[in-house]
Amino acid sequence: MTTTVDELREAVRRRYAEAAAVATEGKAACDCGGGACCEHVAGESGYGEEFYSAEERGALPDTAVVASLGCGNPLAVAELHEGETVLDLGSGGGIDVILSGKRVGPTGIAFGLDMTDEMLALARKNAAEAGVGNAIFLRGQIEQIPLPADSVDVVISNCVINLSTDKAAVLTEIARVLKPGGRVGLSDIVAEDHLTAEDRAERGAWVGCIAGALSKGEYVGGLQTAGFENVNVTFTHEVADGMHGAIIRATKTSEPESKGLPVVVPATRAGCC
């Protein structure tokens, strides 16, 4: 069965709208079942809130913590500083935006970008409850970031870029909005280089953060093509055979050369379970 880009995007939006509704009730977002990222990283390596310290979780509303569906903690590698402007792609219930807002302080700004109205409403509620006044949540798609060029110091993301159907556009947009010398600190699911798109599709669903994951080589090449240097992709824990949670670091140095990164589209298992 062939799945279109629009169908994939709608499947992702619907899945995370359901997760927001569950988290609003105070339950873990994974409780709605059906192939969330957490389904593939649960167990020995943990998932979601387990990547955050007790101190970090203690500074957050419960509904921000239980809404986390990430595969890591991008703030552990982002090295945020007072007064910086941060952008979180696919900000969900707001956990990383709220923590970023606290770190950059009142002279900084923490933007969150999400395409799901339900998650945006939950994130705004969580930020208000946490007393973080420098958190700004935007509605939009990560392939078309609604911010001006050269306006952001740091871009973070937590297990979201794998869900995009146009990774080249995402990486190019990240480079566009970052200031010269700006940096990325990402957590994502990444495949070993020997796995084909078909191999990845066999290991899990697109909405489960597996079928759409880039390989390590594709991530490095895509970031370099988008205008980044000092690119580093480090595997942290295995989530499926040949598939890993990873941290990705890079620094913007130049304008993009092209949009030559191939889009990985699975032939099957695009939907949930």
pLDDT digits (tens, 9 = 90+) for 98-120: 999 999 999 999 999 999 898 89
The pTM assigned to this predicted structure is 0.80
Number of H helices, E strands in the chain: 10, 7
Q: What is the mean pLDDT of the chain?
A: 80
Give the pLDDT confidence of 20-70 residue by residue, as tens digits. Answer: 556 555 545 443 333 344 444 333 344 456 666 566 666 666 666 555 566
Return the pLDDT at 75.
Answer: 85
Give the pLDDT confidence of 160-173 residue by residue, as tens digits. Answer: 998 888 999 999 99
CATH for 5-252, among 3.30.930.10, 1.10.3720.10, 3.40.50.150, 3.40.1280.10? 3.40.50.150
Residue ranges of domains in the chain: 5-252
Contact present, 263 and 166 (Cβ < 8 Å): yes
For residue 176, report the phi and psi dihedrals to the nearest 5 degrees: -65, -45
Return the pLDDT at 193.
Answer: 95
Contact present, 12 and 163 (Cβ < 8 Å): yes
Contact present, 142 and 161 (Cβ < 8 Å): yes
Q: Does the pLDDT value for residue 261 go beyond 90? A: no
Where on the phi/psi map is residue 134: left (φ > 0), alpha (ψ -120 to 50), or beta?
alpha
Return the pLDDT at 272.
Answer: 36
Candidate ranges 27-36, 71-80, 239-248, 261-270; pick with highest mean pLDDT: 239-248
What span, in angstroms and rounded, lies between the C-alpha atoms of 146 and 155? 14
pLDDT band at 200 (very low <50, low <70, confident <90, very high): confident
Where on the phi/psi map is residue 79: left (φ > 0), alpha (ψ -120 to 50), or beta?
left
Give the pLDDT confidence of 211-240 residue by residue, as tens digits. Answer: 789 999 999 999 999 999 999 999 998 888
